[in-house]
Homo-oligomer: A and B are copies of this chain.
C-alpha cells in the first residue's frame, strides 16, 4: 500500500476557473456546472494515469494550492471560492473513493482572524468526510503580514483542529511579491519559516495533539538539520525530537535521489510521509535519469538501506497514524 499525502487538483476542469474569473471580476459567478464525465476525464489522463504508472494507491487530494489566492478579495469571496473548490474535491473523492482522500482549502483572508475558517472546516470534515486541511501561514500572498504560527491569533482554529482530529498541511498559495517565485521560492521559504516559527513557540505545550505536515520535504529544514538543532539548543529549548517531532511531519516532495537520501537519513522515519505533489510544480523528465522529477516513489525505492518497517511507515503507516479520520475511514 502506497499513500501519497500531497496532491492537488491542478487539472480541474475549465468551468471552475471560469467561475473564479467571474467571481474575481465582481460578476455573479452563477452556479458551477461540471458534468461527472468532465471530472473523470481530467483525472483519468493525469492523476489516475500517474497512480497506475507509478504503482501508488491513494492520493490525499486538495484544491490547487496556487489558486487558493487568499489575498484576492475579502473573506466572503474566499469563503465562497473555498466552498466551490472543496465541493469539487468531494465530488472527485466520491467518484473515485479508492483513489482519493479529501483535504480541504480554508477560507483564510489577510488580517482576518482564522476562526472565520471554522464553519467551512466543520462542513468539510463533519458533513463531507474530509480528513485534513491546508493552512496558509501567509494569506497575504508573499508579504508575510500574519502573526507567526505560534501566535495566539491562530489558537481558535487550532482548538477546532484538535477537536476534529484534523492535521494541517502548512501550504502557502501563489505569491504577489515579485521577489518570490511561487513554487521555487515562496513554497520552500514558507516550509522553512513555519518550522522555525514552531521552534520559537510554545505551541505544542499548549496543543500536544495538534499535528502539522510540512510539505516539499520540509523546505530547507532537513538539509540544515544541524543548524536547527543548534539554534534550538542555543535558545535553551529541548532537543527537536522532544520539542516538536510528536507534532511535525515532513513529506517526501523532494525531486532527486540525494535529497530523499538526506531526508531519510536525518529525519526519523516516524516523521516522514510519502508524497509526490502530482500534478505539481515540476512536470518534466529528468534527463539524468530518464524519469519524471516528481516520481518520488523511485527515489524512496532506490534507498536500499531503508529498513522494510521504516519503508512501510513512510508509504502508509505514518499517514494512518497522523490522520486519525483517514484511519477510521479506511478501517470502516
Contact = CB atoms under 8 A, between A and B. Distances in A.
Interface in A139-194: 142-144, 146-148, 177-181, 183-185, 188-189, 192-193
Contacts of A196: 180-181, 184-185
A89 B177 CA distance: 35
Given A229-B293, A230-B293, A231-B281, A224 B255 contact: yes
Contact of A188 (B220, B266, B293): B220
A227 B293 contact: yes
B217 A224 contact: yes
A32 interface: no
Nearest to A188: B220
A178 B284 contact: no
Contact of A222 (B137, B223, B265, B293): B223
A147 B178 contact: yes
Copies of this chain per assembly: 2
12 contacts: A137-B179, A142-B144, A148-B178, A184-B196, A185-B197, A188-B227, A189-B189, A189-B220, A223-B223, A227-B256, A227-B282, A230-B255
A220 B234 contact: no
Given A185-B192, A284-B234, A226 B197 contact: no
Given A142-B144, A144-B142, A286 B226 contact: yes
A302 to B, nearest CB: 13
A230 B180 contact: no
Nearest to A138: B179
Interface of A: 137-138, 142-144, 146-148, 177-181, 183-185, 188-189, 192-193, 196-197, 199-200, 216-217, 219-220, 222-231, 233-234, 254-256, 258-259, 261-262, 265-266, 281-284, 286, 293-294
A249 B197 CA distance: 29
Nearest to A179: B144
Contact of A189 (B192, B222, B261): B192
Given A144-B179, A189-B189, A282-B230, A256 B225 contact: yes
A226 B255 contact: yes
Contacts of A283: 230, 234
Contact of A144 (B180, B200, B217, B261): B180
